[in-house]
Amino acid sequence: MTKNIRLFSILERLSKSHKVCVKELALLYDVDVKTLQNDFKTIREYFSDNLIKKGDCFF
């Protein structure tokens, strides 16, 4: 899975479930937690006003 596809998938999950957790996504996408942390860094650049972080989960 490419980074762009993963990013869109994360955004889709956020819009549907309103909560995603880094550790769960790392298992789902079979990537390192650090990879997901970098993905969320990218997402926050564009959606920081709409994204809340609690622990390793985002809402």
Considering only CA atoms, which of 2, 3, 24, 56 is closest in space to residue 13? 24
Q: Which fold has domain 3-58?
A: Arc Repressor Mutant, subunit A (1.10.10)
pLDDT of residue 58: 95
Alpha helices in the chain (DSSP H): 3-17, 22-29, 33-47
| pLDDT averaged per 10 residues in sequence order, the chain, 59 residues | 96 93 98 98 92 94
